[in-house]
Structures are given as structure tokens and as C-alpha cells.
Structure 1
């Protein structure tokens, strides 16, 4: 590992959440540094570089915020960009972001990661994880150690989290149902598939339930099925859908709650099925391209920079670093090929 000249051992250690002695051993190849710590130090250098690209000179208090996410890489990158953009808006503080991003990780390993963060110090955690009892227990442990937790885009409503940041998932699901009900042919019996990455993500489950209930009210003749378990990863989802779609030639629509829209369309194409009415979430690179190609009919979008701002505001208020003010929730927006920003 090579240490960039512009970052001191002290800076890297603070960003990584490890001792200066550990960083010194790592960057000078003196050994006795485990692979996980070595990876964290490399990640810290990357984060310092990102912060340098986005930041302006400030002299305020340094605040370390850890962002822990179990999500596909495309969504993690979108959140990362939004967080970095918003961090520099707080000119009275030096907000230092530390990212811990995982596409595939167990709940027990997520707990270990959060315990590690607590042991190394943090002013707060922004969290996107499954709604699981072990996660609720871990959030309680962090709260008792003076580390507030904000949940992002998917909630753990029964936990001791400080705040949920994201759009109303119920409204999102109902909005998707309204679009689907009006876009599918009338007086025709149709099948619609709801694709989740995993139903343990409370936000996804809430979207799917609201979609099914609302569509049933508007178009009771439409049959709604759901599939989940791919965690939004394209390869897994493609294999899963190829199995799910076999023998069913009448899928008229797909509500993609958990992402992976390229894989969804590829599965339909390879099975020689008609392209469905496809409604997705988020404006990542894949969805922008699919919208531009008019292969994706609509995306339900919410501004992640609003969620990032709300997360920082809640954590800073908890530490009494800024006055208490209202925290606006991000709104559901409908993006089509014709209003793509």
C-alpha cells in the first residue's frame, strides 16, 4: 500500500478509525496488520481523496459519520455521491464520511461491522440494513454508547433509531400501482410480477404491499405475484427470473422494487417473452440508460441529497451542535423518458 504524500498518518488514522501506529505499519509494509484493517485503511485513503474533490476549506469541528449499507453497488454509489455532495454544504463543520458498503453480507457480519465502528468511535451511523431483531439489538447497543443511528430508505421502525430518512414507501407503492393500473390494457386479465431484492428490507416490503393492495382496488382482475432473494444483484436476479418466468407467457407488467432492471429485461428477452410494462426505483446509471432507450416506462425517484441532508441534520441536532428545526421528508417523483433530468 502506498501512502499519498498529501495525507498524514494522523489524517489516515482518524478517517480509518484505527491507531496511527497501525497506519504506520500498513503504509510502510511492516506487517502485523490484518487484511480487514488493511482494506479499511485503503478505503480511508479513497474517502480522503473523495472529500478533497468535493470539499472547500473549513475550520469547524470535525464530525465522523459512518455509512453502513447492504445494497447493490449501483445504489451504494448513488448514495455515496449524494452524501459527499451534502457533506460540504455544512460549512461550520468538517463532516468526514466513512463508508462500509456491502452487496452480500450476513446480518451477523453487519453486527460485527457496527460493533467495530462503535469500538473505534463515531458521531453517528447512517444505516441501510434488513429489518432484523439482531440489527435492532445492535442499534440499541450503539445508542447506549452515545452513537445515534439514522435509517436510510428502508426502516427498522421498532428499533431505537433516531430517525428514518427517505420517501414514504407506502406512497411509492401506491403510486406505482396507479401507473400500472392505467398503463395495462383495460378489460384484459393480466399478471404482474413484483420483484424485491429481499423482503427483510422493510421499505421494499412496504412498497410491495401497498402496490398489491392499491392495484387490487383499482384493477381487481389483475393477478399480482412476487419474487425475492436476489439482493438486487443482476446475475442472481437473472437466474432467478429465468426459473420464475418459465411456463408463464402472460406477464404484462413488472414492478421492480429492489432494482436489477437490466437483468429483468434480459430474462424476458432470452425467454422470448413480450417486454413488460416496467416500473422501477432510483435514477442510477442503468435506469437512466433504460429510460433513455424507453425500455423502462417510469422510475419512482426521490432526491437522495435531501435524505443525506436530513441524516446529517438529525445527527448534528442529536449532539446539540445545531438548533432543533423541522426535517422535511423527501418526496416521491415520477420520472419518465420525457422528463429525465
Structure 2
């Protein structure tokens, strides 16, 4: 496997040990196919970064760390890579560290490794728990600013939040579903990937407030800890549907929408209203097919722009740029923006 990079750099990019990377590079036995693909992907990413650096101008290397389903991380990667071109001649070199499920201790370990290795900044989507706040403080003390992405850590030392007003998004979802019910009773299945994410909690709070105040005839059943993956979310949804025959609508905060729809179909249950978040590939297809009614969307490129500007401002006499929340759009099959 030809390359010009240090084994330690490939290992860091791939999230593997140097010994494992060495085995892959030298074709030794006992290496899983998935591991080999991770090493190849890491080398390809490093080659891309090297090309960007060669383009000239000021280079700012940042690390983007996210616990999120792959369908969303793919969308985030595309947004950041597209926005990089708008900051030329400054070149943002983005190192991506994504996983669908990470324990807080694993995120802390990764953040500490990044701090020791060195970086200009960290963009972070992570649970709002004390140990991660502490890791953010260590980064700040080391002179490495942190920008939170789509879900905030308001009690941490982060310098900015890049994302939407999640509480307003939840209130919007309640309005869309409540008006669809038109005063009739019903029950909404609210799905969270995990209760540890502040952004999802804010969406749920906004949703519950509006339902309670404006649509008291509508009940709420919550499921959580499916981590946005189809397998786990589908099991939780099926159990909830089986336990309550009045559930006839969905507010999907955390994803796994194909699995939720499959659970309703398997139970032979109609869905009166379905509101989801994020215009990823899955939701585009489901919206186009009429499987879901609305997608609450905000421009991830705007979030990337906010993150880049915050990092650049921090580099100028330590100033922090004021940030604005991304606008939330209601997307239907008839106003879906083109994929980027």
C-alpha cells in the first residue's frame, strides 16, 4: 500500500494503533477487511489534505469529532469540505473523527490525544456530560479553541456554538403535528438518539411545551438510546407501538426513520403525521416517496462557516466572533433544495 506518510499520522487519522496500521501496510495476516479499508480511507484523507495545503495560503488544521450516525456524518463532511473552498486563500485542513456510538470516556480519550498531538481547533458534537466539559477545558487551557456543532455544551469552555435553535425547532414540530391532528386525540412517538445530547433535549423541551399548551389532547411516548441507528431504534419503536395502540404520529429527533417506518408497517399501523430532522440521503428519499411529511432542515454549510469564522477570529488577538443561529426551514417534497 504505497504512501508517503508516517505510520503514526495514518494511525491517528484512522483511529487505530500504530501496530495495527503497520500490519496492514506490510500485508501481514490477521487483519480484518474493515480495518484495511479504514487504513486506505485514512491515507486517502491525508493525501487530500496534502493537496489542499499545496494550494498555498494560510493553513489551519482542525479536528472534527462527532458521535453520530453515518448518514449524518456523511452530510456534515460534505458541508465542511464544500465550505473550505469559500475561505481561500486560507486553507482549512479538516481531520474527521466520526463514530456512530462512542462512550463518553472514548470521546474524552480522543480529545486528549488530539490535545497532545496538537491542532488549531476542535469542532465537537458530543454528549453534554461533565467529563467531556472537563476535556474541553483542558483543550482551552492548551490554547486550542472548541466550537460545538448542532448540539451545545453550554457549561463548557467552548468559544462558540454552530447550529440551529433546537428549542424553536421542537416547537415548530409540535405546531406541524398539532395542526395536522386538528383537535382530534392521538399520541406521538418522540424518538431521541440519546438523552445525553443537549440539542435533542432542547428539541424535546420545545415540543412538549407547545403540545402541552396548545394541543393537550395529544399524548407523547418517548424512546431513547437507539443512537440513531436503524437496528436499535427499530427495536425500541416496535416495542413502543406494541405497548400502545393509540400511537399514530412520529416526531423523529434522533433519526433511524426507515426502521421506525418499518415498525409501523409491520404492526399494520397508519401514521397520521411524521416530522423528521436533517436533509440527509435517507430523509430525502423518504420525503420524496411520501413516507414522511416534513423535514426540519438547517444549512450545515452555514454551521461550517460559523465554525471556521469563530476559529479565525480566535486567532486574531484572542477575539471571539459573535455567532448567529442557523435558520430552521420546513421542507416538503415540493421545496426540497438540491443535494450538494
TM-score, normalised to structure 2, is 0.88
Which residue matches 1:331? 327
Q: 2: distance between equivalents of 1:194 and 1:28?
A: 46
RMSD: 3.0
What is the CA deviation profile of residues 274-331 of structure 1, one whole-angstrom value per residue up to 9, with x for unaligned ones?
Answer: 1241100000111000100111100000000000011011011111289875433210
Distance 1:211 1:289, change over 3 A: same
Q: 2: distance between equivalents of 1:257 and 1:134?
A: 24
1:225 pairs with one of 207, 218, 221: 221
- Find out whether 1:154 has 2:120 as its counterpart: no
2:274 pairs with one of 267, 272, 278: 278
Which residue matches 1:70? 67
Distance 1:339 1:52, change over 3 A: farther
Kindly report which structure 2 residues correspond to 1:222-301, keeping only aligned pairs within 5 A, or say none: 222-301=218-297
Q: 2: distance between equivalents of 1:202 and 1:28?
A: 40
What is the CA deviation profile of residues 31-54 of structure 1, one whole-angstrom value per residue up to 9, with x for unaligned ones?
Answer: 9xx99x99886443232355589x
Q: 2: distance between equivalents of 1:338 and 1:278?
A: 16
Q: 2: distance between equivalents of 1:325 and 1:242?
A: 46
Distance 1:120 1:51, change over 3 A: closer
Could you tell me which runs of 5 or more consecutive residues in structure 1 were left unpaired when the two chains were aligned: none
Which residue matches 2:170? 173
- Find out whether 1:103 has 2:100 as its counterpart: yes
Which residue matches 1:3? 2
Distance 1:25 1:110, change over 3 A: same
Kept after mapping to 2: 8 A contact 1:12/1:41: no
- Find out whether 1:128 has 2:119 as its counterpart: no
Q: 2: distance between equivalents of 1:174 and 1:243?
A: 26
Kept after mapping to 2: 8 A contact 1:17/1:120: no
The SS at the match of 1:88 is: helix
Which residue matches 1:119? 116
The structural deviation recorded for 1:340 is 1.2
Kept after mapping to 2: 8 A contact 1:195/1:258: yes
What is the CA deviation profile of residues 119-141 of structure 1, one whole-angstrom value per residue up to 9, with x for unaligned ones?
Answer: 11100000000000000000001
The SS at the match of 1:305 is: helix
Distance 1:295 1:38, change over 3 A: closer
Could you tell me which runs of 5 or more consecutive residues in structure 2 were left unpaired when the two chains were aligned: none
The SS at the match of 1:200 is: coil
The SS at the match of 2:87 is: coil
The structural deviation recorded for 1:26 is 7.1
Distance 1:143 1:43, change over 3 A: farther
